[in-house]
Chain A
Amino acid sequence: MAIIEVSNLKKSFGDLEVLKKITFNVDKNDVVAVIGPSGSGKSTMLRSLVHLEEINGGSIKVAGDQLVKDGVYSKPQEVKRITSKMGMVFQHFNLFPHLTVKENLELPPKLVKNEPTSVIHQRSTELLKKIGLTDRANAYPANLSGGQKQRVAIARALMMNPEILLFDEPTSALDPELTGEVLKVMKDLAEEQMTMIVVTHEMGFAKEVANRVIFMDNGEIIESGHPSELFDNPRNERTKAFLNRV
């Protein structure tokens, strides 16, 4: 069952056509890895889903609700309700530096969700345990390592109970020895059947954890399929060339 349906998505920055009529679906519980050379439009595609970018044409449907239809967005309230089904993890974490780890987790649901504080607190406690940072609850982001920051960012996204989690190169800003701890948390989430779209350069992760890989180049989806097909038997020349380079 498709939880995200994207059809003919077009996006330009001025004269630069960044996404050229992209069409793809993501099924519930899928882990989709999006790979491709830098500048191919991966981030723009992800950001369009959560309305960080306004698209110029095409349709996006999330969990049955129409975010955009043929380039026309739903009402702002609807857009907000629909995008709230998705959480996003950024390359540069974007934690709130003036808040402690615990406050980073608890402030957004306190402001946005209609939940008792005790429920929010309970969830933050569980999530801190899950990412292994219970003892850092009162630390400020400035005092965390990159890997710890990204784990907090994942927990912060999860605090909103999203149905889908989007990752934009979550390990690209990390020292190589710190990527493992973040990938581990993501792998755990995949095992819990979280629906995820992960833009990544970690081919190992894509092979091992994703059940589908999308290869993008120059604003188009060139090829997509199960990791075993796409990595071992790429059909398109551009895919082959890209895989040979990385």
Chain B
Amino acid sequence: MPQDVATLAVLPRGGVLALFVFGGVFLSLDYITSILGPMLEGAQMTVLLFLIAIITAIPLGFLLTLAVKSSFKPLSFLAQGYIYVMRGTPLLLQLLFICFGLPMLPVVGEYLVLDRFVAACLGFVLNYAAYFAEIFRGGLLAIDKGQYEASQVLGLNKWQTTTRIILPQMFRVALPAVANESVTLVKDTALLYAVAVPELLHYAQTAVNRDFTIVPFFVAGLIYLIMTLVLTVVFKVIERRFKFE
């Protein structure tokens, strides 16, 4: 026994922790199987929110970019103001506002009682569209003005220049930032917890409280890691496909 303690003492602290974690995880495989069912169910909610948010927020963000770029000044200002507000306030605040704030508005409030999950989706889409809009705007800025000039001299009209020359390059430039933002989105889905939509983290927390063990947290962490890993790989494949080399 003293020998064991000595061995432990020379291990770095992280090593000790890992030892306990792995030991704990290994010893309670049955336990893990028992909590995995509900947690994966929660993960489905996470994935669903992620898919809805990303599929809607990217096109919406792109439209916002066009609005910002618009020569119709009121539209441009409106879009810029929208982006400023959405990026300048916490997503959590926006979610709470949509879920609990809207119904409290006078007169219209009673019509704005949304299903929690729907409300959360709305919040995520509205918020992430602003971030994607900024990413796409950055992508546009990165395009050399020589691309527009060459297009013009070759006789392409504005529409052709935009759709065939500029946008493909913009998306290519924006891809790494979009990938990054998507990984953040996966992790942000945990905010559903705050508006009491049962998702992955919710089930983990429930199990922790009920069973007095931190194992569910590690399982949840692992599931998040797997999701972000899959996402990262998918984006790497897309990036390679659009490398233009």
Contacts and interface: CB of A to CB of B under 8 A. Distances in A.
A90 B160 contact: no
Given A98-B168, A111-B164, 15 more contacts: A50-B152, A50-B153, A52-B152, A90-B146, A90-B149, A92-B144, A92-B146, A94-B146, A94-B150, A98-B242, A108-B155, A112-B160, A140-B244, A143-B245, A160-B155
B154 A142 contact: no
A55 interface: no
B149 A94 contact: yes
A142 B242 CA distance: 13
Contact of B147 (A50, A96, A111): A96
Interface string A76-116: 00001001101110101011111000000001100110000
Max chain A Cβ within 10 angstroms of own Cβ: one of B147, B155, B165, B169:
B155
A80 B144 contact: no
Contact of B244 (A80, A84, A88, A98): A98
Contacts of A88: 150, 153
Contacts of A84: 155
Interface of A: 50-52, 80, 83-84, 86-88, 90, 92, 94-98, 107-108, 111-112, 140, 142-143, 156-157, 160
A98 B172 contact: yes
Contacts of A51: 152
Interface in B143-174: 144, 146-147, 149-150, 152-156, 160, 164-165, 168-169, 172
A61 B181 CA distance: 53
Contacts of A98: 168-169, 172, 242, 244
A96 B167 CA distance: 12
Contacts of B155: 80, 83-84, 108, 111-112, 160
A88 B146 CA distance: 12
B154 A160 contact: yes
Nearest to A84: B155
B164 A107 contact: yes
Contacts of B152: 50-52
Interface string B31-74: 00000000000000000000000000000000000000000000
10 contacts: A50-B153, A94-B146, A96-B150, A98-B168, A107-B164, A108-B156, A111-B164, A112-B156, A143-B245, A157-B154
Contacts of B144: 92, 94
The 5 closest A-B pairs by CB, nearest first: A94-B146, A94-B150, A108-B154, A112-B155, A88-B153
Contacts of B172: 98
User: Which of A87, A95, A108 has the most chain B CB atoms closer than 10 A to its own CB?
Assistant: A108
Contacts of A95: 150
